[in-house]
Structure 1
Amino acid sequence: MCATLNLAYPFRGRWMTQNSPANRVPSHGTALYGTSHAIDFVPVNDQGRTAPFTFAALLRTEPASNFPGFGRPILAPVAGTIVAILDSEPDHDAFRGLPSVRYAVTQRQRASEGWTSLSGNHVMIETDGGPVVVLCHLQQGSITVARGQRVKQADALGRCGNSGNSTEPHLHLQVIDRLDAQSAQAVPFTIDGGLPRNGQIISVE
């Protein structure tokens, strides 16, 4: 496994941490597609909440646009070269309550369909040292970079969406040892020298 890579936070504003490798490894319950050290960030409002949870949300799906972070800018957490993008996957409704149970039942099917079924719209940045940084579930049509383009830390990449294997708008961040996610191994990483724990709210100016 490659040495630990240090990243910057790939966003501004307030975000809540989920599925952090600071709590457990593999953080997402599997090493498939190099996800063992991946981390998720859910955008929240000034009160630290996502969309209000109503009785209706218990019974049916909700538009992704109801959530406070849908469309928030996503930034490059490291300098490097864009080696892959996908920008055409639709943003689907969000799933909470009973819809989230039904969605979970189909998880294995999505995994069997391959990497893009899980990642949705994404950007992959090859760092100068070799590892590839992956940012997933971006908003359809929002990606502003092109393959082969050099980016600096904090350059705009796209916007937070709800594409791929996602129950509500959020950002999935991971680092892998090669471009081919199907065969990749995870590379451990830190963010600003550490890692937030599950439930921790990050505020970045």
Structure 2
Amino acid sequence: MNPPGHHPDAKDFVAVNAQGAPYNRLRVLQHLFYKLRVTDTYAWGKEVFSPFSGLVLKAENTAPDRIYLNLVHDLVKGLVLARRLRNKDVGYFLGNYVVIESEDGVLAVFAHLQQGSMTVSEGQSVRAGELIGKVGNSGNTIQPHLHFQLMREYDLRRATPVPFVFDSCEVTKNGAWEMINSALPGNYEKFRV
């Protein structure tokens, strides 16, 4: 998914059920106007793996997760505070995050990870497919999700994301799963890897 304000090549991934909802639909009013627990979402705690072998350049693991969601409050807070803090504190936006550099100099950023879930540390070598942490709700978020992007510059405030594709994944077409190769699903398209 690529929400408003994101670069087209920076993606937010949200776990959903068969109907495409991030939590049981009976909880929508709770999310909009009161408090929805992050543990009631399908993304919370999902494992995150490195897409390639490389070196961990940064592993920030101290930002607390917000354990309750309120969509109206979170949207207002995100829009108002984001403008004030845009060039000051990248940690406010990303929460707990990992930056991994590939052997050919591409940097992968994984943001909004669950506090205390990281299995990697700065300076550590990682292998493709290695567990690096779990999806959380840290930083500037409206729900648990994984923010992922590839880039060539290390300055997270100014770096331009670069395009990427999955080697293969399945997307839903007319109610059935269909394999696609060397592609990326469209915005809000359900897929599985």
| Corresponding residue of 2:43 | 69
Distance in 2 separating the partners of 1:186 and 1:73: 23
**What secondary structure, in the 3-state scheme, does the structure 2 residue paired with 1:136 have?**
strand
| Corresponding residue of 1:82 | 56
Mapped pair 1:199 → 2:188: yes
CA 1:107–1:61: 2 relative to 1, 3 Å: farther
More strand by share: 2
| Corresponding residue of 1:147 | 122
State which of 69, 78, 88 in structure 2 corresponds to 1:113: 88
Q: Deviations over 1:138-197 (max 9, x none)?
A: 000100011111111110000000111110000000011122213323222222221111
The unaligned stretches of length 5 or more in structure 1 are 1-17, 20-26
Instruction: Kindly state the Cα deviation for residue 112 of structure 1 after the two structures are TM-superposed.
Output: 4.2
**TM-score, normalization: structure 1?**
0.77
**TM-score, normalization: structure 2?**
0.82
**What secondary structure, in the 3-state scheme, does the structure 2 residue paired with 1:84 have?**
strand
The unaligned stretches of length 5 or more in structure 2 are 168-181
Query: What amino acid is the match of 2:153?
Result: R
Q: Please say if residues 61 and 96 of structure 2, whose CA atoms lie closer than 8 Å, have aligned partners that are also in contact.
A: yes
| Corresponding residue of 1:165 | 140
Q: Please say if residues 81 and 149 of structure 1, whose CA atoms lie closer than 8 Å, have aligned partners that are also in contact.
A: yes
**What secondary structure, in the 3-state scheme, does the structure 2 residue paired with 1:78 have?**
coil
Distance in 2 separating the partners of 1:112 and 1:63: 30
Distance in 1 separating the partners of 2:74 and 2:157: 26
Q: Deviations over 1:109-142 (max 9, x none)?
A: 3424321111110111101111111010000010
State which of 29, 32, 42 in structure 1 corresponds to 2:14: 42
CA 1:61–1:89: 2 relative to 1, 3 Å: same
| Corresponding residue of 2:5 | 29
Distance in 1 separating the partners of 2:32 and 2:159: 37
Q: Deviations over 1:28-49 (max 9, x none)?
A: 535xxxx452011001234432
Equivalent pairs, count? 175
Distance in 2 separating the partners of 1:121 and 1:41: 16
Q: Please say if residues 81 and 125 of structure 1, whose CA atoms lie closer than 8 Å, have aligned partners that are also in contact.
A: yes
Distance in 2 separating the partners of 1:48 and 1:174: 23
Q: Please say if residues 33 and 70 of structure 2, whose CA atoms lie closer than 8 Å, have aligned partners that are also in contact.
A: no
